[in-house]
Structure 1
Amino acid sequence: MIDPTHVFDAEDSIRPTVRETPIVHSRALSASVDAEIHLKLENLQRTGSFKIRGATNYVTTHLETLQETGVITASSGNHAQGVAFAANRYDLEATIVMPESTPRSKVEATESYGASIVLSGDDYGAAKERAYEIRDRDGATYVPTFDDWTVIAGQGTLGLEVLRTRPDCDVLVVPIGGGGLISGISLLVKGLNPSVRIVGVQADGASTIARSLEKGQATTLDSVDTVADGIAINSPGTKPLSVIESHVDEVVTVDDDAIEHALARLLETDKVVVEGAGAAPVAALLSGAIDVEGEVVVPVLSGGNIDLDVVGDIVQAELDRR
């Protein structure tokens, strides 16, 4: 397991590539939940999500090897773009395997960073298997999505930015897919300020971490179903789960209606565009899943990569509910 020193080292490694994203006060959300809400706008990160942090730290840490082997990974979105961007930054050959159902906009965005794209399989699991086959055939190095300490340390740099900007933070609310982001943040934050309460948020239809904690063992879901595709993971990472068990105070779940409402609310009142995963922390606040009355709260808006037609559908559904 890593500690805060690894996150400080990661920040030094990624800073030439990764932006420090702003934290802004939300007057409207603060009034709605009777707390002081400050939004961590990671949707404004390069490539549109936090994933570039872990990918860049992995690349810089293993750069000498990767210059010989190149990199490969499987992803249908944010991790794909993070790896492609980091590889391009350090002149590495990169191959990204994406499911055949991946929206063309995400394929083109990943391709724009110089990666070679292979479309294979109906879902992430099938794409990952194909990536492993190519890795074994060509000798490329596979870049993990979340179950890796180097990646986790890179994601933890987001927590450093929060503590520097809002040292008065009482509660940090973080979306959870495989657990890489919240494990990196919690290792750093709890190591420096144990009094900060860290709450993870999953979608009801992809609650693999929540169920694993309830059962006391890693639990794989037969399927996932949520509008928040960025956290639609069916199995937790072994390393992230071990950190969440020891460092995260609470994990809650929210349904898709709450996520869609939060996404529309952020767009309407704060003029912020996020994807479903990025809206999940705000969904937990607005739905009352977390009690934060009177506290200083930082929800992490983890990404903003969402198709325009999806935004339109969500906004229309929100208008229909009024």
Structure 2
Amino acid sequence: MGHEDIEAAARRIAPFIRRTPVVKLDHATGANLQNDVYLKLECLQVSGSFKIRGATNRVKTLEPNRIENGLVAASGGNHGLATAYVAAQAGVPATIYLPNNASPLKAEKLRKWGADVRFAGNVWDEAHEAALAEAKACGAFYMHPFADAQIVSGQGTVALEMVDQIPDADIYIVAIGGGGLISGMSEVLKHVKPDARIIGVEPTGSPTLHASLAAGHVVRLPEITTKVATMACGRTDESIYAIVAKHVDDIVLVEDADMQKAAELLWFEFGIAADLSGAASLAALMSGAFKPPRGARIAGLVCGAGVEGLNG
């Protein structure tokens, strides 16, 4: 997978996705930001997150007979929603496995899109094992959220839009679950803007890539304690690790409470309904986990929609 693959994915999925807007976080009195910060609102994307990009690209690169028995996915919520959406558009069944801590509202939305929703385990990795077994048993196509070059290429199309919309950004801050988003984006950013810095954000309770980079190889976390299902992953993929090790400048860790505060601010001051992963970029700045140099222009993502910030 490279920049050319992501360009091809962008052309392939263009008729099926939205070019989401960017908002500058000016007059954000509660955030105490010292830099110009811009957020791309993928919470307004088809299905509610950037995940539709990868799911659409994956399905559009498959022969129809590969999906005639349906699609199966394991997800913290957003990848499942994207998979259910593309399955509905293709007229095939979708079975989505969720960990037990997934958002009940996202589970209900999955059902409204016709998906068969099943719960398995307490973290994504356990739901993943159950989903793989189901896909094998019924002959469905398994939609892996990050260990799939076509999925990652689709996710990387976010960066193509961001470079065009925020041409003078110096630093990109990206939430990490399994790592598909940041790896796809980094392939674009280091090709187009080699001097740009790329900062990943993980929960302190699921430091998957942070721990792997520290070890110098992919590791499996001994436990996952974050409550953010969309960012909980015990082990990344070797191919994702290789891209992140090559392109990503740093990974910072934030508490679940930091993301909650950022989600509440996004709703209170901007009317943006972000899930906690969608608030991770801002949380890294508000919490001080990442301290950008003064004058640096920051680009981040509200990568997923949710109601967590409405409850503050």
* TM-score (ref. length: structure 2): 0.93
> Counterpart of 2:250?
250
- Offset of 1:103 from its aligned partner? 4.4
Is the Cα–Cα contact under 8 Å of residues 123 and 229 in structure 2 kept in the other structure? Answer: no
**TM-superposed deviation, 1:246:** 0.2
Q: Does the CA contact (< 8 Å) of 1:229 and 1:276 recur in 2?
A: no
Aligned to 1:318: none
Deviation for aligned residue 1:164 = 0.9
Q: Who is 1:298 aligned against?
A: 299
Name the structure 2 match of 1:188. 188
Deviations 1:129-183 (A, max 9, x none): 2222222222111111111111100000000110111111111110011100000
Report deviation, 1:115: 2.3
**Aligned-residue offset at 1:122:** 4.6
Q: Is the alpha carbon distance of 1:62 and 1:270 closer, same or farther for their aligned partners in structure 2, counting shifts above 3 Å? A: same
Give the conservation status (yes or no) of the 8 Å contact 2:125–2:233.
Answer: no
Aligned pairs for 1:73-92 (under 5 A) are 73-92=73-92
Q: 1:122 and 1:199, CA in 2 relative to 1: closer, same or farther beyond 3 A?
A: closer
Q: Provide the C-alpha distance between the structure 2 equivalents of 1:305 and 1:158, rounded to a whole number of angstroms.
A: 19
**Which segments of structure 1 move beyond 6 Å, counting only runs of 4 or more?**
none
Percent identity between matched residues is 34
Where 1:268 maps in the other structure, the secondary structure is: helix
Give distance in 2, aligned partners of 1:154 and 1:105: 25
Structure 2 gaps of 5+ residues are none
Q: Deviations over 1:265-319 (max 9, x none)?
A: 2222222121111111111112222232201111111111345xx742xx1xxxx
Residue 109 of structure 2 aligns with which residue? 109
Task: Map Cα deviations across residues 88-111 of structure 1 (whole Å, 9 max, x no partner).
Answer: 122223222234554442222112
| Distance in 2 between residues matched to 1:208 and 1:101, nearest whole Å | 18
Distance 1:48 1:74, change over 3 A: same
Q: Indicate the residue corresponding to 2:17 in structure 1.
A: 18
Kindly provide the amino acid, as one letter, of the partner of residue 296 in structure 1.
R
Residue pair 1:67, 1:92 contacting (<8 A) in 2 also: yes
Q: Could you say what secondary structure the match of 1:68 adopts?
A: coil
User: More deviation in 262-271 or 25-34?
Assistant: 25-34
Aligned residue runs from structure 1 range 1-322, under 5 A: 2-29=1-28, 32-99=32-99, 102-292=102-292, 293-306=294-307, 311-312=310-311, 315=312
Letter in 2 for 1:26: L
Q: 2-side partners of 1:179 and 1:100: how far apart?
A: 21
Query: Does the CA-based 8 Å contact 2:101-2:229 persist in structure 1?
Result: no
Q: Deviations over 1:246-276 (max 9, x none)?
A: 0111111112232222122222222212111
SS at match of 1:277: coil
- Structure 1: which amino acid aligns with 2:14? R
- Distance, in Å, in 1 between the alignment partners of 2:267 and 2:101 is 27
Is the 2:156–2:185 Cα contact (8 Å) retained in structure 1?
yes
Is the partner of 1:28 in helix, strand or coil? coil
SS of 2:15's equivalent? coil
Supply the distance in 1 between the matched residues of 2:288 and 2:120 (Cα, whole angstroms). 40
**CA spacing shift, 1:280–1:298, aligned 2, 3 Å:** same
Report the TM-score, using the length of structure 1 for normalisation.
0.90
Ranges in structure 1 where 5+ consecutive residues have no aligned partner = 316-322
Q: How many residues align?
A: 310
Higher normalized helix content (fraction of residues):
1
Write out per-residue CA displacement over residues 179-215 of structure 1, whole angstroms, 9 at most, x where no aligned residue: 0000000001111111111111111111111111111
- Residue 114 of structure 1 deviates from its aligned partner by 2.5
> Which letter maps to 2:301?
V
Tell me which amino acid in the other structure corresponds to 1:193.
Answer: K
Q: Which moved more, 1:90-99 or 1:239-248?
A: 90-99
- Cα distance in 2, alignment partners of residues 137 and 252 from structure 1: 40
Match of 1:319 in 2: none
Contact 2:96–2:117 (Cα < 8 Å) also in 1: yes
Q: Secondary structure at the match of 1:251?
A: strand
Structure 1 distance, partners of 2:229, 2:173, is: 18
What is the alpha-carbon root mean square deviation over aligned residues?
Answer: 1.9
Letter in 1 for 2:255: D
